[in-house]
């Protein structure tokens, strides 16, 4: 059985923001049944599920996962001696010229 814990704000915060949602009746019925099975009302269930998923998505935006093979290739590339890129150096010099320190 899947357990869900209702989200509790880390600090007291009034529930003043509203968001109206429309569901197909069959979808709402599935949500109601799932909420009931974990002892939550549908609103708390939807809020908790949406918040958990939002946190997963936010975390994924800042996480890079590599296989062992990819990680080995990455570390080997990082450890190699770098080469000067004249075009990049020129571009950096031009951009620095745009910002004059007084």
Does any domain span residue 59?
Answer: yes
pTM of the predicted structure, to 2 decimals: 0.58
Residue 9 has what pLDDT? 57
Residue 13 has what pLDDT? 82
**What's the pLDDT tens digit per position in 49-71?**
999 999 999 999 999 899 999 99
Does any domain span residue 96?
Answer: no
Residue 39 has pLDDT above 70, yes or no: yes
Q: What is the 3-state secondary structure (H, E, C) of the chain?
A: CCCCCCCCCCCCCCCCCCCCCCCCHHHHHHHHHHHHHCCCCHHHHHHHHHHHHHHHHHHHHCCCCCCHHHHHHHHHHHHCCCCCCHHHHHHHHHHHHHCCCC
pLDDT bracket for residue 1 (50, 70, 90): low
> Mean per-residue pLDDT for 36-59?
94
Q: How many domains does the chain have?
A: 1
Does any domain span residue 66?
Answer: yes
> Which residue range(s) make up the domain with 72?
25-80
């Amino acid at each position: 059985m899947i357990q869900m814990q209702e989200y509790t704000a880390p600090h007291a915060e009034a529930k003043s923001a509203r968001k109206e949602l429309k569901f197909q009746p069959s979808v709402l019925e599935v949500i109601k049944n799932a909420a009931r099975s974990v002892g939550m009302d549908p609103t708390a269930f939807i809020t908790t599920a949406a918040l958990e998923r939002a946190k997963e998505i936010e975390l994924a935006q800042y996480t890079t996962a590599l296989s062992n093979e990819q990680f080995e290739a990455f570390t080997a590339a990082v450890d190699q001696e770098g080469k000067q890129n004249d075009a990049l150096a020129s571009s950096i010099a031009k951009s620095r010229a745009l910002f004059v320190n007084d």
